[in-house]
Amino acid sequence: MQNNNQQVIEQMYSDFAAGDIPAVLSLFHKDVVWIRAGAPFIPFSGTFTGIEEVMKMFEIQHATLNMKSFVPQKFCTNEDSVIVIGHDEAEVKPTGKSYAANWVQAFTLKDGKIINVQVFMDTKMIADAFEK
């Protein structure tokens, strides 16, 4: 099961890189909870519950960020969890400011679907890029 869970996450990143959001969303459990800490004025921070809210979060990201790079670098798999360490660089469309940040994304899977995501990264750096 461990390798299968990692394959689900690798497929999600591949679909995301290809811009295939319907394929990305097909890998989530209907009761998924996505948690991303951050200042209230970072429009894609908060807790998103269910596929509709996660889809809305992706739409907000697409509307507010110009992703320059998004690179998952290391996968750590254990039972129902996959932890991914990575790095991204983006330009914030409303301000024109950029940021580069390392991140950790912790995924929990249930029956081969992603049921929980928690994102850890330097939210101050992102908040500064959103500040006008």
Q: State residue 9 phi and psi, 5-degree precision.
A: -70, -40
Return the domain boundaries, the chain: 2-130
CA distance 68 to 90: 5
Q: Does the structural domain 2-130 have CATH classification 3.10.450.50? A: yes
Output the CA–CA distances (angstroms, integers) from residue 43 to 9, 20, 67, 83, 129, in the order listed: 24, 22, 15, 24, 12
- pLDDT one-digit tens code per residue, 27-68: 999 999 999 988 888 999 999 999 999 999 999 999 999 999
Torsion angles phi and psi, residue 17, rounded to 5: -65, -30
pLDDT tier for residue 2 given thresholds of 50, 70 and 90: low
